[in-house]
Homo-oligomer: A and B are copies of this chain.
Amino acid sequence: MGHGRTLEYPKTPVNRVNRYNQRATYDLEQIHTIINTSTVVHVSFNTPDAANPFPVTLPMVGVAASFEHPSASLGEPLDIYLHGYVSSRLMNLSRNAGGQGAPDSASPPPPAQGLPVTISATLVDGLVLTLTPNTHDVNYRSATVFGYASLVTTLEEKLWAMEQVTNSVVRDRWRHTRVPPDGAEMQSTSILRVKVVGGSGKVRVGGPRDELKDLKRDDIRDTVWTGVIPVWECFGEPVAYKGVVEGDEKANRVSSVPEHVSEFAREMREQNEKYALATVVDTSQD
């Protein structure tokens, strides 16, 4: 905080966080970190079907990264790469929106630049228990970015993005597997690149914040427990695949869990617990 220059997404009517401004963040590093820490993000978009007023929301695996500037840090402008399947609705819409879409003279859109999508990720860090229901709260980190999704078309960027996506789920996994994907695999997999145009985040940390009217009543203070139940995503001990039946031909043959897997699970477990416990006593927003 306050160390050097940090980049922020511009505040616009689209991304402005109206409630609890003290929890809002527009900091690129913080927003990108929340997205890359989440195993799954939610991707929302509208279908061209005018009779359907509901956005479609899909859980997907995604990662913030830059193909043009692979060494970019999380605090720099990044694209979001999403992994999907050639046949999926989102991929088809992005293909249609990415190139020579039919011009819409009724309400001239910006030049066809991809399908508008909203990507959201939320990590729950704790349940905040206070004197009265209205002051109960949740410690959490949430990020939303807006952008235009297009299919990645060059083999080089697609292969690079597949590696980024794989390693965003399990650190350093790519090079410990059978790579590169063969021709059929490259064809059956689609990668979406979302050019981000804005974003925002919300973060809540700390303990209960009760109101004076309750804090000064002994009858309430002496009977209602206040505190935090810390919550974190726990990564358990890796379980080798034993196959469906005894002696299964498909079972894992490597005798011990490799370090890139065991270390990753252990570090995630420790790091997530540590963060959740730290938010309980964080006083930066009190």
A interface residues, Cβ below 8 angstroms from B: 13-14, 18-19, 39-40, 42, 44-47, 49-50, 52-57, 59, 61, 85, 87-89, 107, 109, 116-118, 120, 122, 124, 127, 129-134, 136, 138, 140, 142, 144, 146, 162-163, 166, 169-170, 173-174, 176-179, 181, 185, 188-189, 202, 207-208, 210, 214-215, 217, 220-244, 249-250, 252-254, 257-258, 261, 264-265, 273, 276-277, 280-281, 283, 286
Contacts and interface: CB of A to CB of B under 8 A. Distances in A.
A19 B85 contact: yes
A276 to B, nearest CB: 7
Contacts of A242: 207, 281
Contacts of A170: 127, 129, 136, 229
Contacts of A59: 120, 122, 140, 142, 202
Contacts of A85: 19
Given A44-B57, A230-B236, 10 more contacts: A18-B89, A19-B85, A40-B140, A57-B57, A129-B173, A133-B179, A136-B170, A207-B242, A231-B236, A236-B277
A227 B130 CA distance: 42
Contact of A53 (B49, B116, B221, B243): B116
A3 to B, nearest CB: 24
A131 B229 contact: no
For the complex formed by this chain, how many copies does it contain in all? 2
B18 A214 contact: no
A44 to B, nearest CB: 4
A119 B140 CA distance: 18
A138 B40 contact: yes
Nearest to A130: B177
A220 B208 CA distance: 53
Nearest to A257: B225
Contacts of A280: 239
Given A120-B57, A170-B129, A254 B222 contact: yes
9 contacts: A19-B87, A40-B140, A127-B170, A170-B229, A178-B214, A224-B254, A225-B257, A229-B236, A244-B283
Contacts of A281: 239, 242
A226 B277 CA distance: 32
Given A18-B87, A234-B231, A42 B120 contact: yes
A2 to B, nearest CB: 21
A56 to B, nearest CB: 7
B230 A233 contact: no
Given A13-B49, A39-B127, A131-B178, A208 B241 contact: yes
Contacts of A131: 177-178
